[in-house]
Amino acid sequence: MDTRLLTTFITLARTGGFTAAAAELHVAQSTVTVHIRTLERDLGVRLFDRLPTGALLTDTGHRILERAEEVLDAQARLRAACDATGVVSGRVVVGSPESLCASRLPGVVAALRTTHPEVDVHLYAAGTAQCLEGLRSGRLDLALLLEETEYPDVTGDPVAHEPLALVSAPGHPLAARAHAASWPELAAESFFLLEEGCSYSDALARRLLDEPGGRPRLTRFGSVDAARNCVAAGLGLTLLPLTTVEEELRRGRLVRVDGPRFPDVPVRLARHRRRWAAPAAQEVARALVRHLRD
């Protein structure tokens, strides 16, 4: 069996559409159609229901999806075993919260370009849900998660902790207080937080909304820069990893606000439990652990 057919099958199952699958595979849509028809004919089963809204896996398609992934994993293992050069190479896609992509990961990529120049690292900024979906679908090789939660199909090894900082502009009323801000006081303020799915932002939002009589104004962003710049302009407060605001604190554009203690956020290196990690992905994982722990 031509394993390209299985690659097309898995991609279509993930994207749910022939056009999206063709774009991801960099082939014509007609090629995707031919591959799926050929695979269905070879297996003697229908794998997808063609609907106006896209392609939906049949029950049989669901059953063989994991087996198709195992075949491609076995092919990757075989190719790696046949590589007699000993040079680690390949493309590795890492999903990570935007805050880590901006502050922690550029150093990892720079180090890898020196130690393993044939390894091509791609960073994908995503929240927890997107990272988990990417690991399950095979679109991501590795992911960094900012939470403790366990998942049955994803393994996550703790590698570091990120301190959090509650910050505002220097002129904010809570910035020069002689005593710490209380939860009732914070629940009356405007906050610029990262988008839903960010564990520490979600926890803070819930705590503010649960405060009796509190009426916080919450604005969510998908970008650290957007939240940070709104706060630096004097529009409210934010809670972000300390590494993402250290430069602004040093320059005096932001100041730390004395308030409730926010626990450090755990950083976990996640990968799919069943999927084989290629040598390139293993090297990237080791580099991530070294860099984040340092």
Which of 227, 222, 219, 267 lies closest to 248 in space, CA to CA?
A: 227
Residue 94 burial (C-beta neighbours within 10 Å; 0-12, 13-18, 19+)? buried
221 in Cβ contact with 139 (< 8 Å): no
Handedness of CA 154, 160, 166, 169 (dihedral sign): negative
The pairing of beta strand 119-125 with beta strand 90-96: parallel
- Judge if 157 and 273 occupy the same domain: yes
Least confident of 15-29, 140-154, 165-179: 140-154
> In this predicted model, what pLDDT tens digit does every residue of 222-269 receive, in sequence order?
888 999 999 999 999 999 999 889 999 999 999 999 999 999 999 999
- Judge if 69 and 133 occupy the same domain: no
Cβ neighbours, 10 Å, residue 33: 17
- Judge if 151 and 172 occupy the same domain: no
Residue 108 burial (C-beta neighbours within 10 Å; 0-12, 13-18, 19+)? buried
- Judge if 129 and 211 occupy the same domain: no
279 band by pLDDT with thresholds 50, 70 and 90: confident
- Judge if 31 and 119 occupy the same domain: no
CATH number at residue 175: 3.40.190.10
- Judge if 190 and 254 occupy the same domain: yes
- Judge if 178 and 198 occupy the same domain: yes
Least confident of 53-62, 78-87, 184-193, 254-263: 78-87
Range of the domain at 150: 90-162+266-293
> In this predicted model, what pLDDT tens digit does every residue of 175-189 receive, in sequence order?
978 889 999 999 999
- Judge if 47 and 69 occupy the same domain: yes
pLDDT at residue 84 tops 60: no
- Judge if 258 and 174 occupy the same domain: yes
At residue 37, the pLDDT reads 93
pLDDT at residue 89 tops 90: no
80 band by pLDDT with thresholds 50, 70 and 90: low
Mean predicted confidence (pLDDT) in 43-58: 90
- Judge if 219 and 152 occupy the same domain: no
Q: Give the DSSP letter of residue 218.
A: E
End-to-end alpha carbon distance in the chain: 46
- Judge if 48 and 188 occupy the same domain: no
222 in Cβ contact with 194 (< 8 Å): yes
- Judge if 40 and 68 occupy the same domain: yes
pLDDT at residue 194 tops 80: yes
Give SS3 for 106.
helix
Top pLDDT among 220 and 151 is at: 220
Element spanning 116, H or E: none
Q: What is the tally of structural domains in the chain?
A: 3
